[in-house]
Amino acid sequence: MKRFLTFCALCIYFITTLPSALADTQQGKGGMVSSRSALASQVGADILKAGGNAVDAAVATAFALAVTYPSAGNLGGGGFMVIALANGTVTTQDSREMAPLGASRDMFLDAKGNVDRKLTLDSLQSSGVPGSVAGLLDALERYGTLSRQQVLAPAIKLAREGVVLNDDIAGQFAENLEGFRLYPASLAVFSKNGAAYAAGDLWQQNDLADTLQRISDTGRDGFYKGTTADLIVAEMQRGGGLITHEDLQSYQPVWREPIHGSYRGYDIWSMAPPSSGGVLLLEMLNMLEPYDLGTLGHGSAATLHLMIEAQRRAYADRAEYLGDPDFVAVPVANLIAKNYAQRRFADFDSGHATDSNAIGAGNWAEESPQTTHFSVVDAQGNAVAMTTTLNRSYGNRIVVPGAGFLLNNEMDDFSSKPDTPNSYGLIGRDANAIAPRKRMLSSMTPTIVMQNGKPVLVTGSPGGSTIINTVLQVVLNVIDHRMNVADAVASPRIHHQWLPDTVRYETGAMSDEVANQLRAMGHKGLSGSGFGIGDANSIGIASDGTLTGTSDPRSVGGVAGF
């Protein structure tokens, strides 16, 4: 619990010390991209203008984010992608990182059998085998229309010629400077000879440009073999990491059946395990569907009570059942069935909160808030929702010397020891235990909402365990509360994740009167101390084809459309 509260305090500090941001909202019918970076969004929009489709634009945007938003955009991490094509095809891609072949269940335990947090977060052993590059290139080959060289060219140019740093990114570099000092290659990339960058400085990344050029020239072999692979493995050997040439060459993204369900006549398409996002989103929507949230009112005690109780039960199920489906049996069909939700919610009491301890303990792991999500829609009606991460902000802060990109610390998302809290104070058990070539559990929830076979909302978010609840609330705001996409994203949010048994909420999410009503029902730990929840860069699609892209006002993002 102490670790969890410390983490929350750090999140509050980080979010409230960011430069104030206003949502960027644009409309158009030619195409739209919404992401954490205005530069990356413009790259995607330019690809659409050049005749590319939504997948082309998504791949180009993702590679650009590796240049312009390095705390989460990446070559050295992984992610999930939901694709809805205009011909009715919906599919999802899992490019989540994998445990290396040399990984073992107890690899992070010290001589006394305790978890060594330095190893799980700040070492080369914390890095899983990266999946981003393989995933992006495979998506482009299967569903794109432009060449690899065309979609990578903008990112290479941004890295080579440089980008002018804004207050947001320069501030991130300064905040992490002492951590970068531990690694010469990291310090070389993220400082000016050891001094902090300032807003307005030109930031060039020649090593990263060279790595991107190798990918452009030779495809996945430009990353998973040859020079780049040699640089990764050399760094692993230098610092006791586990990733080998065999790990890199054998990595493959997985195309999985999407999570699909319905809510009030809308089709909900989201990500399947090893993401827990789609399962929990559908489970919570199924619990809430019998109740008229629109009539009960946005932000009312009755509506919030229902949402909290649904969140509580769904997150308890996450702990018990979810993991990598290639290693454990995940009862997806049962969890997203409407009759299961009715049974699960049968003990709901409209006047009293449930004690989380009465539901039981379990396991889950999560990303840090430094994940990133972007949404893309083209004029033909193709749509992509993609969420990607390094785990913590800037991963383990280790740049591969000579390659210019950061490594992830996703191995911390596994359960290092049964019944022992991870770095966020969260308990883990067997379903998410470390095993070679296993993918660690995630909360990422890229989601596409459709009506009559056409996309109406493309959304997702970073935010660790808050991701799923962020997406839930954007969907509820659009469907139940009839908000436009900009208001649905900007509206203040709440979060409950079963354990710890506390309700967190953003300023404005509930009045003092409502908070007191919830306390009287028995809800615990209500805290409205300005904590920011999520960063849901989203796109709404009207029946006449008008696209409305919006960046989340909680951060400094950007939208590009035409």
Catalytic (active site) residue 389: no
- Across all residues in the chain, what is the average pLDDT? 92
How many CB atoms within 10 Å of residue 145?
13
The Cα 452–Cα 387 span in angstroms is 25
Q: What is the pLDDT of residues 126-141, one digit of tens each?
A: 999 999 999 999 999 9
CA distance 265 to 260: 13
| Residue 14: per-residue pLDDT | 33
Over the stretch 233-275, which tens digit does the pLDDT of each residue have? 999 999 999 999 999 999 999 999 999 999 999 999 999 999 9
- Which residues belong to CATH 1.10.246.130 in the chain? 258-347+445-550
Helix axes 54-68, 148-161, angle to 10 degrees: 20
Q: Which of 61, 228, 354, 371 is catalytic?
A: 371
CATH number of 258-347+445-550: 1.10.246.130
Pick the residue with more confidence: 9 or 472?
472
* Residue predicted with more confidence, 15 or 314: 314
**Tokens coding 309:** 């109780």
CB atoms within 10 A of CB 109: 16
For residue 50, give the nearest of 154, 188, 169, 133 by alpha carbon: 154
What is the mean pLDDT of the segment spanning 345-357?
94
What number is the average pLDDT over the span 463-490? 96
pLDDT tens profile 178-187: 999 999 999 9
Nearest to 447 by CA among 488, 500, 508: 488
Instruction: Say if strands 547-550 and 538-541 run parallel, antiparallel, or are unpaired.
Output: antiparallel
- pLDDT over 80 at 539, yes or no: yes
Helices vs. strands in the chain: H and E counts, helices first: 22, 18
pLDDT of residue 22: 73
* Cβ 481 vs Cβ 299: under 8 Å: no
